[in-house]
Amino acid sequence: MLGLPIMPDSASTMSGRVDTLFGVLVLLALLFAVPVAGLIVYFAVKYRRGSNADRSNPPEGNTMLETTWIVIPFLLSMGVFGWGARLYFDIYTVPKDGMDIYVLGRQWMWEFKYPTGQRELNVLHVPVGRNVRLTLISEDVIHSFYVPAFRIKRDVLPGRYTTAWFQATKAGTYHLFCAEYCGTEHSGMIGSVVVLDPKDYQTWLDQNRMNAASVIAENTSSSVQAPITTTVTMAQAGAQIFQHLGCYVCHRPDGKGAGPSLVGVYGSQVKLANGQSVLADTNYIRDSIITPNAQIVAGYPPIMPTYAEQISEDELLKLVEHIKSLGSGTEAPPESNNPTGGMPEGGGSSGNQGSGADSGAQGSTNSGGNSSQGGNSGTQGSGGQ
């Protein structure tokens, strides 16, 4: 309209649907507001003091009219309710297929981490036409991840993973905002989402692979030396942390250690000592590392110490990726390797670089593949509330 940018770009599979509902709500509001406002003015003029309008036979009531103005708005509002609920569930239900990207919010920047090892600040590169699943967490206060062009906004909380997803439909660069006041430089906590055609995206990934390798190699105190030409995936970095912190001593893949085996745990229902059972989603894994005694797995003593002081959010995400890789041999490795080119060799190399302790585990995890999908929706459920 006259080149006036009334609405932001529409660049995701959801943005058109959100706009349609929004447009209908505006039209409905106008449909009721305009006649009411018009009649107020009309009657105010017609029945003003001193006018000689006909004031005899004031109406006592009209059942037909009253029924109509109750029933029609009721049906309209229930229709809008159903429509909105449908859209809400579609927006909040993370699809099973797609690529994972991890988002760390902190005062005052966004950090994005790819399972394949790439990492960037304040700029998020994604391919067009692919579901992108975000797992978000804050290192300090509450932030909110907001991309108007995709019509998504999700609070980023300290201490708990939230999830969001989108599928970009149009290559381009779009604004990214923090939409929750988070301190003096809140307004500067901005960035951009760069949507690339699949080919350009591949080029970008290749160009950033070496950076990723060097960044991760220097961040992890590992015995595994990564060749500079190969990306160290988050799962591999997580496996190194798993070794470094000594987790493997108790969490043996054969389940004969002092703690439960973590093979296939992701996305499964875990029986607890108190008789309840919980879904082992990303939040469960995180909580089990930070507050291990809050949920004790049935059959094991409460002996695990907290790692809250020893581990950063960044390392937690890598451990989560590692544990996911133990439990979804059929699904997660191909998914997480896709961004590097969708080559099957990606999966092979990750197996080669894995430590001895978990390469055995990776071999025996195919059964967990399906249940891990349930894990995603479970994460979504808790994140959305």
Shortest gap between Cβ of 181 and ligand CUA (angstroms)? Answer: 6
Nearer to ligand CUA, 145 or 248 (CB): 145
Query: What CA–CA distances, in Å, run from 76 to 24, 83, 167?
Result: 11, 11, 30
Q: Which of 164, 192, 166 is nearest to 178 (CA)?
A: 192
Shortest gap between Cβ of 146 and ligand CUA (angstroms)? Answer: 9
Task: Output the DSSP codes for 335-358.
Answer: HHHGGGTS-HHHHHHHHHHS-HHH
CB atoms within 10 A of CB 314: 19
Shortest gap between Cβ of 191 and ligand CUA (angstroms)? Answer: 11
Query: Which segments of the chain does DSSP mark as H helices, in order?
Result: 15-46, 63-92, 198-219, 234-244, 247-250, 282-290, 313-327, 332-337, 344-353, 356-363, 371-383
Nearer to ligand CUA, 105 or 375 (CB): 105
Nearer to ligand CUA, 56 or 184 (CB): 184
Report the distance separating Cα 263 and Cα 254, nearest Å.
Answer: 8
Longest dimension (CA), the chain: 97
Shortest gap between Cβ of 141 and ligand CUA (angstroms)? Answer: 7
Nearer to ligand CUA, 151 or 186 (CB): 186
Amino acid, single-letter form, for residue 140: D
Nearer to ligand CUA, 113 or 186 (CB): 186
Shortest gap between Cβ of 178 and ligand CUA (angstroms)? Answer: 3
Binding site for ligand CUA (CB under 6 A): 105, 108, 143, 178, 180-182, 186, 189
Nearer to ligand CUA, 182 or 361 (CB): 182
β-partners of residue 106 are 109
Shortest gap between Cβ of 156 and ligand CUA (angstroms)? Answer: 8
Report the distance separating Cα 240 and Cα 354, nearest Å.
Answer: 8
Which DSSP state fits 122? S
Report the distance separating Cα 196 and Cα 173, nearest Å.
Answer: 9
Contact between 187 and 175 under an 8 Å Cβ cutoff? The reply is no
Report the distance separating Cα 281 and Cα 279, nearest Å.
Answer: 6
Shortest gap between Cβ of 154 and ligand CUA (angstroms)? Answer: 12
Report the distance separating Cα 150 and Cα 195, nearest Å.
Answer: 11
Nearer to ligand CUA, 178 or 235 (CB): 178
Shortest gap between Cβ of 150 and ligand CUA (angstroms)? Answer: 18
Nearer to ligand CUA, 145 or 284 (CB): 145
